[in-house]
Amino acid sequence: MRLSEQNNTSEKNNYKIIAVDDEGGIIDSLSVFLRRSGYTLVGCTNPLEAIERVKNEHFDLMLLDFIMTPIHGDQVVEEIRKFNQELYIILLTGHKDLAPPLETIKRLSIQGYCEKSDKFDQLLLLIESAIKSIKQMQMIQEINEELKESRENLEKAYLESIEIIRHTVEAKDTYTRGHSDRVSAFSVLIGKYMGLSEDDLHTLKIGGLFHDIGKIGIPDSILLKEAKLTDEEYSQIKNHPAIGKHILANATIFQDIVPIVFHHHEKFDGRGYPLGLSGENIPLFARIAAVADTFDAMTSKRSYRNALPLEVVTEEIEKCSGTQFDPKIAKVFLEILRNHYEEIEEIQRKYDTNNPS
C-alpha cells in the first residue's frame, strides 16, 4: 500500500460510524464493504440499544434503517435529537416510497437518505461527503474553542478562518474563484443602497464570503462535471446549503450568517430550496445574497458558456422580480445597474481572478 493510501485510510479510521439495521445480514454487508473502503463500523441490530450507545459513546456518523422493529428510524432520530444535535445521520430506505415525509427529514435534521441496494456505491459517495462535512465542522468547533480563550483576537481569527475555509472550496473549481468575494461585495452594495446599518453590512459581507461553504461536502466528480448533471447529481448539489448550515451551526461566532448560508437558494415564490420558503419568510439577508449570487453567476464565464451580456442579465432580473427575487431588492439592484454601474465594475475589476493586476 502506498503512503498516500495509508494516510487516507488512517484518516478515515479517525471517524466513528454506527450502522443501525434490524437485519444482521445488512450490518455484515455494510461492515465488509466499508472496511474495504478504509472505514471502521460499529453495527447494531436493536434500535433501542443504538440510542443508548449514542448517548454513552461518541459517534460521528450514523447509517440508519427506516423500517425497523420495535421502533422505526425516525423515532430513533427523534430520541437522539433530544440530547445530540451534532450527529450526522444518513437514513437508509428499502424504497423511496417508504421514506418518511420530507418535513420529518428536515425537522429532525437528517442530512441525507439513500435507497438500499446490492451495490453501495451511492452510499459511499454520501459517506465521503458526510466525512468532509464533519471534518470541516470539527475544524470550526476547534476554532471556536480557541477564540473563547482569546477574546481580544476574535475578529482577526474570525476573518482568517473564513479566508482559509472558503479558499478550500474555491480551490476545487477554477471557474468559481473570486465568486464568493464578488457575491459578498455585491450584497454589501445592495445593503448600502437599502440603508442598512454597519452591523448588517458586516453580516452581509461575511455571509457572502461563506455562502457556498457547503460545497466542500459535494464530491468533486459532481462539482467539476462539465456535462449536464443527472437528477441524482443535481439533488446532491442542492444539499450544499444544508451541509453549510451543519458545518457552521455549532460555532457561536457564525450564528448571524447561517441564515444566508442555508437560505440563499430560496425563491420569493416558494419554489426554491432547501425549505421552499416564500416571501418575507425568507431571511432578508438571504434574499439580498440570492440576487447578488445570481447576478455574479450570469456575468461570470463558465466552462460551458461565456458571461452573459449586461442587457440580458438586466432583463432576467426584471423578469424574475417577484418570482425568484424579492421585488423590492430587485428594484434596488436594477437601480444600481442603471445608474451606478461604475460601482459594479469596480467590484468586478477588484475580484477578477483572470486579471490579477
Task: Give per-residue pLDDT as tens, 278-312.
Answer: 999 999 999 999 999 999 999 987 766 788 999 99
Is the domain of 115 the same as that of 137?
no
* Same domain membership, residue 146 and residue 94: no
User: Does 231 reside within a domain?
Assistant: yes
Of 94, 119, 144, the domain-final residue? 119
CA 116, CA 110: separation in Å to the nearest integer? 17
* In a domain? residue 124: no
Regarding whether 315 and 228 lie in a shared domain, the answer is yes
Q: How are beta strands 61-65 and 112-115 bridged, if at all?
A: unpaired
- Report the candidate in 160, 118, 334, 325 with the shortest Cα–Cα distance to residue 253: 160
- Which residues span the domain enclosing 90? 3-119
Domain boundary among 86, 119, 152: 119
Is 56 within the bounds of a domain? yes
Give the closest residue to 289 by CA, choosing from 313, 325, 264: 264
Q: Confidence class of residue 200 from pLDDT cuts 50, 70 and 90?
A: very high
**Arithmetic mean of pLDDT, 238-261:** 89
Please tell me what DSSP assigns to residue 322.
Answer: T
Residues 168 and 61 in one domain: no
Q: Is the pTM of this model over 0.85?
A: no
Mean pLDDT of 66-83: 92
In the predicted structure, residue 9 carries a pLDDT above the cut 60? no
- Under the banding of pLDDT at 50, 70 and 90, the label for residue 174 is low
What residue spans of 211-283 are helical by DSSP H?
Answer: 220-223, 231-237, 240-248, 258-263
212/249 same-domain check: yes
pLDDT value, residue 248: 85
264 part of a folded domain: yes
Contact 180, 173 (CB under 8 A): no
Instruction: Say how far apart CA 198 and CA 251 lie, in whole Å.
Output: 22
Nearest to 252 by CA among 343, 180, 146: 146
Does 110 share its domain with 144?
A: no
pLDDT at residue 144 is higher than 80: no
Check whether residue 111 and residue 137 sit in a common domain: no
CATH of the domain at 65: 3.40.50.2300
- Answer whether residue 355 is part of any domain: no
Amino acid 357: pLDDT: 35
Residues 142 and 253 placed together within one structural domain of the fold? yes
The mean pLDDT of the chain is: 86
SS3 call for 280? helix
CA distance 142 to 152: 17
Last residue within a domain, chosen from 89, 119, 149: 119
Q: Is 215 a catalytic residue?
A: yes
If asked whether residues 174 and 291 sit together in one domain, one would say: yes
Range 171-185 average pLDDT: 80
Is 196 within the bounds of a domain?
A: yes
Identify the pLDDT of residue 36: 87
Considering only residues 66 and 201, tell me which one the structure prediction assigns the higher pLDDT. Answer: 201
Considering the domain boundaries, does residue 153 fall inside one? Answer: yes
Residue 93 backbone phi and psi in degrees, to 5: -125, 145
Alpha-carbon gap, residue 223 to 340, rounded angstroms: 34
Residue of 132, 148, 172, 215 with catalytic role: 215
Is 217 within 8 Å of 240 (Cβ atoms)? yes
Q: What angle do CA 211, 216, 221 make, to 5 degrees?
A: 125
Residue 153 confidence (pLDDT): 65
User: What is residue 331's predicted lDDT score, i.e. its pLDDT?
Assistant: 97
Strands of the sheet containing 41-44, edge to edge, are 41-44, 17-20, 61-65, 88-93, 112-115
Element spanning 19, H or E: strand 17-20
- The pLDDT value recorded for residue 263 is 97
pLDDT, tens digit, 9 for 90 and up, residues 179-194: 999 999 999 999 999 9
Percentage of the chain modeled with pLDDT above 90 = 52
Q: How far apart are CA 346 and CA 106, in angstroms?
A: 40
Q: Residue 70: inside a domain, yes or no?
A: yes
Helix (H) / strand (E) element for 155: namely helix 154-170
Number of domains in the chain: 2
Are both 149 and 29 inside the same structural domain? no
Co-location of 114 and 240 in the same domain = no
SS3 at position 110: coil
Residue 4, pLDDT score: 47
pLDDT at 316: 96
Do 164 and 298 lie in a common domain? yes
Residue 265's CATH number: 1.10.3210.10
